[in-house]
Amino acid sequence: MDWRQKRSCLGVRHLLDTARENGLAAESCLLDSAIDATHLEQSNCSIEAWQELAVIRNLIQRINRPGLGFATGQRYHLTSLGLLGFTMLASDNLHAALTTLDRFQTLSLAICPVRTLQDTRGLWVTFDDTVLPRDASAFVIERGLAAVIQVVSELMQRQVIPVEIQVRYQCPPVERIDYPEPLDRFSFGCDKNGVLFANADLICPLPQANHVARHQGEISCGRLVEEAELSPAASPTTRRVQRILQDNAASLMTSEQVAALLGMSERTLLRRLADEEQRFKSLNDQVKTRLSKRLLSESTMNLQEIATRLGYADSASFCRAFQRWTGQPPGRWKRSM
């Protein structure tokens, strides 16, 4: 988990709403988070993941009640996901929408990895709590489970009752449980955190399915993910080079070509990168590695198609480059995922 990952402030706003309903002042929740309350009022504000985690820990330290995460998760709506929510809404059916959620999970507002897992009864949406500190784990998982059920119900335009809900943590004292419907029937102490949606729900056409809108949404989501993968601490020249390499990933661009696009000589570009402690080849390899891994794990493209997408003449050339970047061939890397 990259705790420096940039994310929307919306999650913190929902946390503060939960705090307010429970008589807790915003100042107490924002303690040691480096978040300015006035900053949260801006429509395009962003924070880093560690800051949201700090707010979560402040909240649960002061309001220690099982089920608080569920109450917070129910504040999320399809619109909370922005462009990702739009793309899910335009999907053919629920299965396609949840696959899109998995594919672009960095846009999902979740603070832990989200994955889909096929089951004979349907499809699980799982939340990996191994990256979370123990004191915040139950809250984050509860919030994620409630949010995905809420979003799925809005996609289907009806209340969707999951087949099963599982959590890895143990059941709290019965008299202290405050879990709202339909979240009052699930299993504790399991081997995963997840919610299982039925096959019958997965194949139902979504009311607002639109192939063109979905395709455009997927392209835009991909661009947002690529932008988020750029190093937030990168210096100006480094970031501009990264962006050009991403936009021209189908070509094996040289430093001379990139320099020309930036309106400078190759010598000037290399000097500026050196001043920022960067090398052109390393930046190029980083961009190619990230994109190739995403195509291998998220698309149905074969090796030749991926090679072409990355500017290589044939799959053999791509495989040699991937081996150099990662230490293993693409097929083995994909099987290890």
Q: Give the least confident one: 80-84, 275-279, 298-302.
A: 298-302
The answer to whether residue 222 sits within a structural domain is no
Tell me the mean pLDDT in the region 7-27.
92
Tell me the mean pLDDT in the region 308-315.
88
Confidence band for 103, pLDDT divided at 50, 70 and 90: confident
Residue where a domain terminates, one of 64, 95, 114: 64
pLDDT of residue 257: 93
Tell me the mean pLDDT in the region 56-84.
91
Report CA 17 to chain centroid distance, whole Å: 23
99 and 31 housed in the same domain: no
- Check: CB of residue 250 under 8 Å from CB of residue 237: no
257 and 271 housed in the same domain: yes
Tell me the mean pLDDT in the region 36-54.
87
Tell me the mean pLDDT in the region 246-255.
84
The answer to whether residue 161 sits within a structural domain is yes
pLDDT of residue 211: 92
> Would you state the structure tokens that stand for residue 136, as one six-digit string?
């915040």
Residue where a domain terminates, one of 64, 86, 103: 64
The percent of residues in the chain predicted with pLDDT above 90, rounded, is 54
Query: With 70 as the cut, is the pLDDT of residue 194 above it?
Result: yes
Residue where a domain terminates, one of 64, 80, 115: 64
pLDDT of residue 232: 52
pLDDT of residue 181: 60
Work out the widest C-alpha separation in the chain, in whole angstroms: 71
The percent of residues in the chain predicted with pLDDT above 70, rounded, is 92
The answer to whether residue 223 sits within a structural domain is no
71 and 59 housed in the same domain: no
| 295 vs 12: which has the higher pLDDT | 12
Tally of domains in the chain: 3
pLDDT of residue 298: 67
The answer to whether residue 310 sits within a structural domain is yes
Which among 86, 164, 171, 90 is positioned nearest to 125, based on CA atoms? 164
77 and 187 housed in the same domain: yes
Range of the domain at 278: 230-335
Instruction: List Cα–Cα distances, 331 to 181, 274, 303, 305, 337, in angstroms.
Output: 44, 35, 9, 14, 10
pLDDT of residue 145: 94
Query: With 70 as the cut, is the pLDDT of residue 19 above it?
Result: yes
189 and 75 housed in the same domain: yes
206 and 109 housed in the same domain: yes
Query: With 80 as the cut, is the pLDDT of residue 4 above it?
Result: no
The answer to whether residue 275 sits within a structural domain is yes
249 and 212 housed in the same domain: no
- Check: CB of residue 202 under 8 Å from CB of residue 237: no
The answer to whether residue 224 sits within a structural domain is no
pLDDT of residue 295: 82
What is the b/e burial string over 201-214, where b = at least 16 CB atoms within 10 angstroms of the residue's CB? bbebebeeeeeeeb
245 and 317 housed in the same domain: yes
CATH number at residue 316: 1.10.10.60
Whether the full predicted model's pTM is greater than 0.75, yes or no, is no
pLDDT of residue 106: 81
Query: With 60 as the cut, is the pLDDT of residue 233 above it?
Result: no
| Per-residue pLDDT tens digits for 146-189 | 999 999 999 999 999 999 999 998 887 655 555 656 555 678 89
Tell me the mean pLDDT in the region 27-45.
88
Q: Which amino acid is at 106?
A: T
The answer to whether residue 221 sits within a structural domain is no
Confidence band for 311, pLDDT divided at 50, 70 and 90: confident
The answer to whether residue 225 sits within a structural domain is no
Tell me the mean pLDDT in the region 261-265.
91
Q: What is the mean pLDDT of the chain?
A: 88
pLDDT of residue 254: 92
Half-sphere CA count of 332, side-chain side, radius 13 A: 7
22 and 152 housed in the same domain: no
pLDDT of residue 170: 87
pLDDT of residue 6: 79
208 and 74 housed in the same domain: yes
45 and 12 housed in the same domain: yes
pLDDT of residue 75: 93
130 and 167 housed in the same domain: yes
